[in-house]
């Protein structure tokens, strides 16, 4: 073989070894943000008054369900992914409402409230983008007539 062909073959082999590996759920930025959000909620729970326990328990439940829905969305494809992302977004909006209420009653400091809202806004933005991407991929797989 000539030198050019050998260079092309070496380049092809190098590209095969550098192909992207599938990210695990824990490596997804949206999942990391959700788990950090849950950590902050638990940290708030430690310092919050006892009267706020029920609201904080609900926040932890929503945060856990948010993480679970994101993990499910990473594992499935198509309509199931969109449904899991819808559940995750609903939990994020519920968390935003709970955090707003806790901040209003003074159970959460301004800095913690700001951190929580920032994380929730990031999760919502990433979730909406991921959902739209999954929806577009689903539409692109339809035949020309639009019906399967």
How confident is the model over 11-65, as pLDDT tens digits? 666 655 555 566 688 888 999 999 999 999 999 988 888 888 899 999 999 999 9
Q: In this structure, are residues 120 and 90 in contact, taking their beta carbons and an 8 Å threshold?
A: no
Please, which pLDDT band fits residue 2 given cuts at 50, 70 and 90?
Answer: low
Residue 146 — very low, low, confident or very high, per pLDDT cuts 50/70/90?
very low
- What is the rounded distance in angstroms from the CA atom of residue 96 to the CA atom of residue 11? 50
**What single-letter DSSP state applies at residue 19?**
P
Asked if residues 108 and 44 have their Cβ atoms less than 8 Å apart, the reply is yes
How many Å apart are CA 119 and CA 100, to the nearest integer? 13
* DSSP3 helix / strand / coil % (the chain, rounded to 5): 80, 0, 20
């Amino acid at each position: 073989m000539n030198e050019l062909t050998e260079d092309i073959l070496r380049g092809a082999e190098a590209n095969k070894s550098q192909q992207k590996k599938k990210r695990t759920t824990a490596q997804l930025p949206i999942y990391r943000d959700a788990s950090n959000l849950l950590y902050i909620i638990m940290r708030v729970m430690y310092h919050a008054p006892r009267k706020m326990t029920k609201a904080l328990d609900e926040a932890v439940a929503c945060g856990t369900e948010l993480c679970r829905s994101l993990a499910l969305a990473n594992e499935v494809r198509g309509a199931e992914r969109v449904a899991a992302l819808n559940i995750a977004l609903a939990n994020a909006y519920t968390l935003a409402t709970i955090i707003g209420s806790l901040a209003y009653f003074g159970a959460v400091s301004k800095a913690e409230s700001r951190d929580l809202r920032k994380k929730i806004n990031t999760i919502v933005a990433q979730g909406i983008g991921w959902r739209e991407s999954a929806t577009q991929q689903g539409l692109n797989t339809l035949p020309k007539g639009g019906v399967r």
